[in-house]
Amino acid sequence: MELPQDGRHRAFIEQVRPAVDCGRSALKRVLGEPIDVEADVIAEGHERIACALLHAPAGSTSWTAVPMTALREDVWQASFVPAALGRHRYTVAAWIDAFATWRHKLLRRTERDDVALALREGAALVRAAAARARGPERGALLAYAASLESDAPLEERRRSASSEALRELMAAAPDRSLETVYDPPLEAVVERPLARYGAWYEFFPRSSAPGRHGTLATAARHLSYVAEMGFDVVYLPPIHPIGNSHRKGRNNGLQASSADPGSPWAIGSAGGGHKSIHEELGTLEDFAGFRREAERLGIEVALDIAFQCSPDHPYVREHPLWFARRPDGSVQFAENPPKKYEDIFPIEFGTPEWRELWQELRDVVLFWVGQGVKVFRVDNPHTKPFDFWRWLIADVQRSHPDTIFLAEAFSRPRVMFRLAKLGFSQSYTYFTWRNTKQELTDYFTELKAIRDWFRPNLWPNTPDILHEYLQTGGRPAFMARAALAATLGASYGIYGPAFELLEHTPREPGSEEYFDSEKYEVKRWDLEHEDSLRQFLGKLNEIRRANPALQGDDTLTFRHIDNDQLVCYSKTSPTGDNVVLVVVSLDPEQVQSGFIDVPLDEWSLDAQDPYHAHELLSGRSHEWQGPRVFVTLSPAECPACVFRIEAPHRTSERDFDYFA
């Protein structure tokens, strides 16, 4: 075995945290969010160690160094806040701190001659540091070196060597010539805050004009309705031309009439493909108007990216090798037995022309970025190659680091996790199918453990999914699922107006498909219906905006409540001054009650003093005391309570309407 390049490097860095897949994937953070780094560092013998956290934007040739402090034995810690969007590198450097080692030994020496000789050794170390220093620090170090080997009394020189001022000067001019650097560096992707926190609302523009096919212009008028409910993102299903060949009829029927508009996911016709707009929706100018209106209302526009084609898509004619053929020569349509999608051709990513295919699909995304879109919901990404997404997302974000990608992949857990590690900003989850207390607790505890790289976006319904709980639970079920989605997750979304108008009829018993699904027809929605959850959703979003605790997932903690029909959990803001406690009834029919165990010490509450629980959905305020409190939830009134917990000193009494 060959000798090392330099065997004098003595600090050994065992591990740096956080790291995703041992550094093979990137950590996720948003702008302004700190990255707290820990490192396990050791060295042989009794030498003292010094460590620095190194960080830099991708492409930078120099590091910014942050001194690390000892957290506990052999564990060091420091933080940094990336100053820009995009990719950042971070690592740790460690070295033997000769001065700290010398000073530690000096303080333990007792013999006079031994101390005198040690002071001369220290003077040499200080003089060497002066040679590395710049500015007034250099002169100060030279003065200390002279004092250590002067004729001054021994105890005076010893005090000088032990001073905090000298320690700080020496720490600022370390000898890092034999440092060890953890290699390769780790990586973090820094995105906009919207990648962590936001409320999404999905609707079909073609259903935005009562009595006729809607347009982007009529959809723009619908945006004020979305804004009044407090949503941050409006997500549109595909707005491209729809194919005529094998067009689906109502309820996914194989025969379509001339009046059936077809599925928006059957993309492409003689009118164009993924870079075109359906002629009945309007033009690119109309889309620009829609986007400007959304911006005026403080809403971002998200578009669907569905890389699949109708038989009429221009790609089918222009790039025949991009599609798989069956033995009879026909193009293979999409299927997931027993489901069949005769109106869709999947793209063949195994084509010999894969380079041209990848570049074209990347250009589709860049085309819409050029139209002002920076948020994309990606349809079925788990059916395309992993390396394709790794390349596309990195390539787009290299020039547009403010672009956000949401993965719609209801697939196996490890496949969903891999997509997140490849670069997707957010991910759909199994929330829709987690309905019992145990299911919710187990699942969200699992998601919290991977929060460094997996950001969940919770949807109680989608155009494809109407869960049995919503089919049978009535209005309380919709309210409970909305409250869970909006408070369990920093990001959540609904498919509306189906959700707020309590659309609950399945296509047939046992199906999760909607009857008269909007995927296959233009719907007529009564937005002013008296039973609408419009105001309830608006209140939830108002609460989310007013409480920083609900704008992240890091602090989600389930709390004990002695009723299996009630789920209870809390979240706390990063500063610790905003505490939210949520209780949701999972029973849409019966009144449910239970005792909550309140963590008084954790929330700095005194067991002897009352504290305030302001219920934000109803506006009522309660005065609680002690570690156990009793709550009752009635589905007829509201199956959820969202409490802001406050000690008396945190607020003024005028904020509360007390009652016994």
**pLDDT tens readout for residues 274-310:** 999 999 999 999 999 999 999 999 999 999 999 999 9
Q: What is the mean pLDDT of residues 458-472?
A: 97
408 flagged as catalytic: yes
Q: Which residues pair with 457 in a beta bridge?
A: 491
pLDDT grade for 422, boundaries at 50, 70 and 90: very high
Q: For residue 457, what are the CA distances in angstroms to 306, 430, 432, 547?
A: 19, 10, 11, 18
Reply yes or no on whether the pLDDT at 269 is more than 80: yes
Q: For residue 654, what pLDDT is reported? A: 34
Kindly tell me if the per-residue pLDDT of 9 is higher than 90.
Answer: no
Catalytic residue among 97, 304, 379, 518: 379
Residue with tokens 């170090």: 141
d(C-alpha 596, C-alpha 562), whole Å:
7
Contacts of 537 (CB under 8 A, 6+ apart): 229, 230, 482, 494, 500
Residue 163 pLDDT: 93
Which pLDDT score is estimated for 649? 61
pLDDT digits (tens, 9 = 90+) for 40-51: 999 988 889 999
Q: Is 7 helix (H, G, I), strand (E, B) or coil?
A: coil
pLDDT of residue 413: 96
Higher pLDDT among residues 419 and 162, named by residue = 419
In 555-610 the beta strands, taken as DSSP E runs, fall at 557-558, 566-572, 579-585, 592-597
Spatial CB neighbours of 577, under 8 Å, sequence gap ≥ 6: 650
Give tens-digit pLDDT for 70-118. 999 999 999 999 999 999 999 999 999 999 999 988 888 877 778 888 8
**Cα angle for residues 483, 485, 490 (degrees, 5° grid):** 115
Degrees (nearest 5) of the Cα angle 122, 126, 128? Answer: 115
The first and second tokens of residue 418, run together, are 């891999």
Instruction: Find out whether the peptide bond into 184 is cis, omega within 30 degrees of 0.
Output: yes
Same fold? 12-190, 197-409+459-547:
no
CB–CB of 217/488 below 8 Å?
Answer: no
Residue 359 one-letter amino acid: Q
The whole-chain average pLDDT of the chain stands at 94
The band of 625, judged by pLDDT with boundaries at 50, 70 and 90, is very high
Once rounded to an integer, what is the mean pLDDT over residues 212-224? Answer: 97
Whether the pLDDT of residue 650 is over 80: the answer is: no
- CA 634 to chain CA mean position, Å: 33
- What's the CA gap between 239 and 11, in Å, rounded? 58
Please indicate whether residue 6 is annotated as part of the active site: no
Q: Residue 420 in contact with residue 452, Cβ under 8 Å?
A: no
Buried b (16+ CB within 10 A) or exposed e, 586-595: bbbeeebebe
**Beta carbons within 8 Å of 143's beta carbon, 6+ residues apart:** none
pLDDT beyond 70 at 170: yes
Q: What is the mean pLDDT of residues 267-277?
A: 97
Q: Write the pLDDT tens digit of every residue in 367-407.
A: 999 999 999 999 999 999 999 999 999 999 999 999 999 99
Question: SS3 for 69?
Answer: strand
- Looking up tokens 């929706």 gives 281
622 has pLDDT over 70: yes
Fold for the domain defined by 197-409+459-547 = TIM Barrel (3.20.20)
CB 592 within 8 A of CB 563: yes
Which candidate, 205, 208, 212, places its Cα nearest to that of 242?
205
Catalytic option among 360, 408, 518, 615: 408
Q: What is the pLDDT of residue 154?
A: 86
Q: Phi and psi (nearest 5°) for 383? A: -100, 5
| Homologous superfamily assigned to 557-655 | Golgi alpha-mannosidase II (2.60.40.1180)
The domain ranges of the chain are 12-190, 197-409+459-547, 557-655
Residue 651 has pLDDT above 60, yes or no: no
Tally the residues of the chain.
660
Strands 75-80 and 611-615, sheet pairing? unpaired
Calculate what percentage of the chain has a pLDDT beyond 70.
Answer: 98
- Whether the CB-CB separation of 351 and 357 falls below 8 Å is answered with yes
Looking at residues 35-43, what average pLDDT do you find? Answer: 97
Extract the tokens encoding 72.
Answer: 């506990």
pLDDT band at 653 (very low <50, low <70, confident <90, very high): very low
Helices (H), 107-171: 112-132, 136-148, 154-161, 164-171
**Amino acid found at 598:** V
Residue 119, CA distances (Å) to 109, 115, 150, 174 in order: 11, 6, 10, 19
pLDDT at 224: 98
Identify the helix (H) or strand (E) that includes residue 361: helix 354-370
Alpha-carbon distance 157 to 151, whole Å? 9
The DSSP result for 418-471, as a single string, is HHHHHT-SEE--SGGG--SHHHHHHHHHHHHHTTTT--BEE-S-BTTB--HHHH
Q: Are 595 and 629 in contact (CB under 8 A)?
A: yes
pLDDT of residue 263: 97
Which of the 8 DSSP states describes residue 63? P
Candidates 3.40.640.10, 3.40.140.10, 2.60.40.10, 3.30.565.10; correct CATH number of 12-190? 2.60.40.10
User: Which two three-digit tokens encode residue 495?
Assistant: 């498919």
Other CB atoms within a 10 A radius of the CB of residue 48 amount to 16
Q: Is the peptide bond before 588 cis (omega within 30 degrees of 0)?
A: no
* 3-state secondary structure (DSSP) of residue 556: coil
Place of tokens 């449910």: 592
Q: What is the pTM of this model?
A: 0.93
131-158 pLDDT, tens per residue?
Answer: 999 889 999 999 999 999 888 898 898 8
pLDDT band for 656, please (50, 70, 90 cuts).
Answer: very low
- C-alpha–C-alpha distance, residues 367 and 270, integer Å: 19
How would you classify the pairing of strands 592-597 and 233-236? Answer: unpaired
Mean pLDDT, residues 420-443 taken together: 98
The pLDDT, as a whole number, for residue 340 is 79
Rg of the Cα trace of the chain?
31
